[in-house]
A and B are shown apart, each in its own frame.
Chain A
Amino acid sequence: MVNKIDCTILTPERVLFEGEIGFAVVQAHNGEMGFLYNHSPLISELGVGEVRLRDEKSTKHFIVEGGAVEIRDNKLIILAENAIPKAELNITEIEKRLKELSEVDVKKFSEESMMLQAETYKMKMRLKVAKR
């Protein structure tokens, strides 16, 4: 296959992935978004969720927690605020954290409960990716 996208996943801490892939799926702000060769230039906000990078043989999974994505001239750049590859996720640790979070008691609709919800959601997404 010749038609490949040049893909880079960046976080402020490191360059997470750099290479050519055939097909990419990212979690945009309100749903998943796929990119193939010759996609028109686009900038989008990212939500918390999974990023899948596929070429003919394998699929790589990442979890991206907020950021932005840009594609132009078949160069896909994912600017993540925080991103972790699947290999670095630890299922037992995430489950432990989820359990801890479920035990925290906060007032409904307060700022803390919102933050708790966001954190729980993040962990759930991490778990989903880790179990892939």
Chain B
Amino acid sequence: MAKQRDILNRIKSITNTKKITSTMEMVSTAKMKKMQSRLEMSKPYDVKVNEIIKNLLSTGVETASEPLFREVPDPSRVLILQITGNRGLCGSFNTNIINKTMKLKEELEADEKEVLLYVIGKKGINFYNFAGVPMFKSASNPEDKLTFEEAARISEELRRMFASGEVHEVYVSYTKVISTASQKPEIIKLIPISKAETEDIDAKLRINTEYIFEPNPYRVFSYILPLYLKVKIFTCFLESSYSEQFARRVAMKNATDASTDMIRELTISYNRARQAKITNEIAEIVGGAAALE
């Protein structure tokens, strides 16, 4: 008796959960699409900035004087900018980044370096608070309200810290979008800008165009490098947001599928229980009638 109603209640509650998860799936799909288009919009800009830097390098501008290229010998203070989401329910998205960051932190600390954490996203902040790890600075993730100015502000802050010698290296820990269907947590070294990154394509691109630089190559260079950082951070944010929505969509899709399965199984056992009850009742009636004869 009671079993039948219990099953019915469970079916009801799972149906409600399914409604929520499928709605969340749709919402994150929509957000993901939006992020994807923003990502595509920012791609040409990113490519172009890189190209200009390459062109500049191929003209043989003296880069040693440029502070953003300067490697600090024996760096002892390192900053990690970690980008996580504000919310959960997105599978292992946040944990993956945190794990990766923690691993790097431990490695760096083993080398007796001081590690400062700049944490973006409430999930990351909550984790470090819980683990009792001090953070250098924290902010919530702007998510879809992200503007270029926001990214520019952060990169400017990091650049200043590097230029003043407050930190010797800056890393970014974020989720990289490899293709539309695959993302992976990754850590890149932001400052000092590694020349290796720009050199490989440089060889291919040696078209020997004689550029005129206005006002002069050095000025252009010292202007374009901070811009490069801004764009880089902006893309990191976009990619992280895209990955977060993607992870959430997958998690919600799995949850929806799982609840569909559960509802089907429960419906079968509900029907069984109902049938068993009916059979039981018939047996009782038949038994009763037989006893009367």
Interface residues of A (CB under 8 A from B): 8, 10-15, 28-30, 33, 40-45, 67-68, 70, 72, 77, 79, 81-82
Q: Is there an interface contact between B223 and A41, defined as CB atoms closer than 8 Å?
A: no
Interface bin, chain B: 20 to 34
Residues A77 and B48 in contact in the complex (CB < 8 Å), given A13-B42, A45-B219, A68-B224: yes
Contact of A10 with B45 in the complex, beta carbons under 8 Å? yes
**In the docked arrangement, what's the CA distance between A45 and B217, Å?**
10
CB of B215 within 8 A of CB of A70, answer no
Residues of A within 8 A of B38 (CB): 13
The CA-CA distance from A125 to B251 in the complex, in Å, is: 48
Residues of B within 8 A of A13 (CB): 38, 41-42, 147-148
Interface residues of B in 50-107 (CB under 8 A from A): 52, 55-56
Contact A33/B214 with A13-B148, A43-B52, A68-B220 known, Cβ cut-off 8 Å: yes
Residues in chain B near residue A41, CB distance under 8 A: 209-212
Residues of chain A within 8 A of B234, CB atoms compared: 12
A sample of 16 inter-chain contacts (CB < 8 A) reads A11-B45, A13-B42, A40-B210, A40-B212, A41-B211, A41-B212, A42-B213, A42-B214, A43-B56, A43-B211, A43-B220, A44-B214, A68-B52, A79-B49, A81-B227, A82-B148
- Closest Cβ of chain A to B206, distance in Å, is 14
The answer to whether A15 and B52 touch across the interface, beta carbons within 8 angstroms, is no
- The residue of chain B having its C-beta at the shortest distance from the C-beta of A14 within the complex is B41
The answer to whether the Cβ of B231 comes within 8 Å of any Cβ in the partner chain is yes
Cβ distance B36 to chain A, nearest Cβ, rounded Å: 14
